[in-house]
Chain A
Amino acid sequence: MTGDEFENVFDDLLNGDEELKAFCQVLQEQVPQAFIQLHGDNGVVLPEVAAQPCSAEGVAELLAKTRAAGGRPVAAQGQAGEWCYGLRVDKISAVLLFSLPGRSDNLLVEPHGRQLLQGVIDYALLQQEQQLLKIENEQIFRQIAVLKQKHTALIEDNFRQYRLIQDKEKEYARTLESEIARQTAELRNTNARLEEASRLQSEFLANMSHELRTPMNAIIGFSDLLLELKLDKESREYAQTIKNAGMNLLVLINDILDLAKIEAGRIELEHAPFDLRETVDNVASLFRIPAREKKLSFMVEIAPQLPALLYGDNNRLRQILINLVGNAMKFTAAGEVAIVIGLQSLASEQAQVVFSVRDSGIGIPPERQQAIFDKFTQADGSTTRKYGGTGLGLAICHQLVQLMGGSIAVKSVEGEGSSFFFTLPLKVARPDAVVAPRPEPEGRAEGNMQAEAASVRSALRVLLVEDNPVNQRLASIIIKKQGCELAVAGDGIEALAQLEKHVFDLVLMDVQMPNMDGLEATRRIRKIEASSGARAQYAGLRNRTKPLSIIGLTAHARKEDEQSCYGAGMNGFLTKPIIRARLEAVLAEEAEACNLGRPQGPAA
């Protein structure tokens, strides 16, 4: 494609004389007095109506001369003596003829005249060029205007997009918020459900504990009673076996329930001042006799710099120690068992106490040392068969130590012995802190408790309120054996009925009963005692100088159970299963109090 092709695209649309006309017009404006004629190559002659610069013949001759002159101007003199000029203008493809009337000299002879002529023509041509440039300029301006529009549009669009993004972000934030709200609500629900499930589980545990302990109580209690009878050797052996098996089972049940409680997060640690030496001595005292029987040396070492009183859960600590020492005794056939208590550090009332229980027993193979703290695991399966036990003891110890903020570990060489040690952070108590009374031992320690010889507690009138017939019977026998008078009621309503007619020194009140439970019955009794009118209707309450002694019997040794017993107005409580020794102790205490409180003395 050549440049010409592009330039000639619109030629068809043109008459071809626009350019010539424009040129002609400019020249006429420049030199108005001149005669001008343009002869286009396409045959056009301009201006259409104008005076001839010279005669027709002259024009024809001048045209021919000019065309032959090759771009140089040509001059010719007309008949009237005037000069006519011809010039080929390539740019507009035409020949220009012109004359200047009134001038009789040949301009072309003068160099200035020639230049003048050329100048005028160039000017006219430049005019056309200028027109083109002007249009070009206009086009550029239009395009600039378009760019400006686009620029404005871009800015507007940017703003629009900015707003859009903002909106989207807001929407996103809203969605996020509602999503978070939804999930939070869901979590709350789940949490509530879990809490409910956990509450139910814990309730179940409490009930289970009650349900399991009640028959165990009967088994142990009655085999105990059986052993007091005159029996032949064989029967005595059978009865002893039943009692031992029952005690073992009770320990096992207590372990399982304990572990379940710990895992359910249902265990509450005490934080009370206690005497560590006393606790350790107490544990040691349980094992001195068995150690002697197995011919083991039994040693207790307590670092002298250990503070006298510490804050902590005395009972749970005892439990851990009993467990560890019990294990040590179990797995050691010869040599020694030792309890060593050391002080790792003592800083600003905070003591790190290291407990260790060492034995020279069978030891634990290294690959099993980690697993023994897991549930239901002993050093190997054969251990259970040979030594018995549940494998729960160490798991409970592990959990309890963790709960107390410490850690437990073992060092052992197979065949040489094991050493269990744990460290507890314990706060130092001031020497004047009130030491909580050491509760009666429970569980495995109970086996070592022997009932004191029954003293005659004549005329202590006892009302036993208990719904379970087996428990009723067991308690009745124990109480009667103590020489007390006994009446029995099956629930709170019956108990109130008994109090209407009879006088009692002591009420043993089961907490969990149908119809009216022990707590409600106690509350009623206290209410009656408080109103002289009501009191008059109850023979059992009418003439009392001090409130009737009511001891609760509860299957749950939980803190809240204890609190609800006292809250209802009880004077004390005993945990079930009823431990003979404790019941006897309560009876003895009460008899003493009554003897002091009643000048007339018990009726013989």
Chain B
Amino acid sequence: MPTAQELVRKFSDLKTLPHVALRLTKLVNDDRSTMHDFEEVIKLDPVLVTRLLRLVNSPYFGLINKVESIPKAVVYVGMKNLRNLVAVEALRNLFRGGENENGFSRKNLWIHSATVAIIAEMIAKRIFGQEGEDVFLAGIIHDIGLIVEDQLVGESLWSACAAYDPTKNTLALCEQESIGTDHCLVGNLLAKEWRLPNEVLKAIRLHHDMERKHSLGSITSILQLAEYVAGKLGYSPLVGRFDPLPDYLVRHVRSTMTNYKVIMRDLPSEMAKAKDLYETDL
């Protein structure tokens, strides 16, 4: 059975993140980078320029005057949003194709990831007063390990999917059975290669860890909440099957129920906005 490292190495040989994405993540991590550096990288990718201008001119930013210059757009959007924009763009391509009748659909997974990202960002911002950009990135990327497995050990993954029963186990446990590793570990390693922030790496690794109590407001806990909501709304990777909410989070939701109700009330319009922004197939 392959280890997570082997899978990631093989996958990296097959598919790489676009050059632009790698350079941008590097810039985000570099204290000495300036907006000017970002500008230089973004200019290389016309698709990215279009998306950037669309994003900055969307209602989300609510600017009065239309922004048409790249440097200005970069300043408005900020480094992290820019990184997310690139990540969405890059991942969307990785999630394409691979439709089959084995209960695993990349398209479903993509919609799931995007939904989780949007919900997680809302929870982070509205309930925990966080900036939300890292949480969004964690949401969009948390199940990337499944794509790796689908690409390299598809049949084992499909049998894990078949064995998955939310009342008895988690998908990660089933993967351990049939593949020898799981998408949390694989995704964590891949994201590490892409040099994503540590908090994001941790959340990818732990998002199926239902045993432990993760601290409220951590990316992991927010991801688990968002996964549950997405599942309830019918957007789980394996339609109809998703992990129950861990007890510590049930208690949290109960104690702040009205907060979550407000989020649920605003979710449809947020998703519509996101669809417009990222052109995702929500």
Contact = CB atoms under 8 A, between A and B. Distances in A.
Contacts of B18: none
In this complex, the interface size class of chain B, counting residues with CB under 8 Å from chain A, is 20 to 34
B73 to A, nearest CB: 14
Contacts of B245: 13
A142 B268 contact: no
Interface string A1-29: 10101110110111000100000000000
B272 to A, nearest CB: 11
A473 interface: no
B127 A139 contact: yes
A7 B265 contact: yes
Given A1-B233, A7-B261, A161-B35, A146 B131 contact: yes
A10 B264 contact: yes
A14 B263 CA distance: 17
A143 interface: yes
A135 B32 CA distance: 40
Nearest to B260: A10
Nearest to A15: B254
Q: Majority SS of interface residues in chain A?
A: helix
B125 interface: yes
Interface in B240-260: 245, 250, 253-254, 257-260
Contacts of B268: 1, 3, 6
Contacts of A10: 232, 253, 257, 260-261, 264
Contact of B259 (A7, A135, A160): A135
A146 B126 CA distance: 9
A5 B233 contact: yes
In this complex, the interface size class of chain A, counting residues with CB under 8 Å from chain B, is 20 to 34
A380 interface: no
A349 interface: no
Interface in A100-148: 131-132, 135-136, 138-139, 142-143, 145-146
Given A7-B261, A135-B259, A165-B34, A142 B127 contact: yes
B127 A9 contact: no
A6 B127 contact: no
A150 interface: yes
A409 interface: no
A111 B128 CA distance: 49
Nearest to A136: B262
A12 to B, nearest CB: 8
A143 B126 contact: yes
A358 to B, nearest CB: 71
A18 B259 contact: no
Contact of A139 (B36, B130, B257, B259): B259
A146 B132 contact: yes
Given A142-B125, A143-B125, A164-B32, A9 B264 contact: yes
A176 to B, nearest CB: 19
A370 B181 CA distance: 90
Interface string B209-250: 000000000000000000001001110000000000100001
A244 interface: no
State the 3 A-B residue pairs at the shortest beta-carbon distance, nearest first: A142-B129, A139-B126, A135-B258
Interface of B: 31-32, 34-36, 78, 125-132, 229, 232-234, 245, 250, 253-254, 257-265, 267-268
16 contacts: A1-B234, A6-B265, A10-B260, A10-B261, A13-B250, A13-B253, A132-B258, A135-B258, A135-B259, A135-B261, A135-B262, A139-B126, A139-B127, A150-B131, A160-B31, A161-B34
Given A7-B265, A9-B232, 16 more contacts: A3-B268, A6-B233, A6-B264, A10-B260, A10-B264, A12-B232, A14-B257, A131-B258, A135-B259, A135-B262, A139-B263, A142-B127, A142-B129, A143-B129, A160-B31, A161-B35
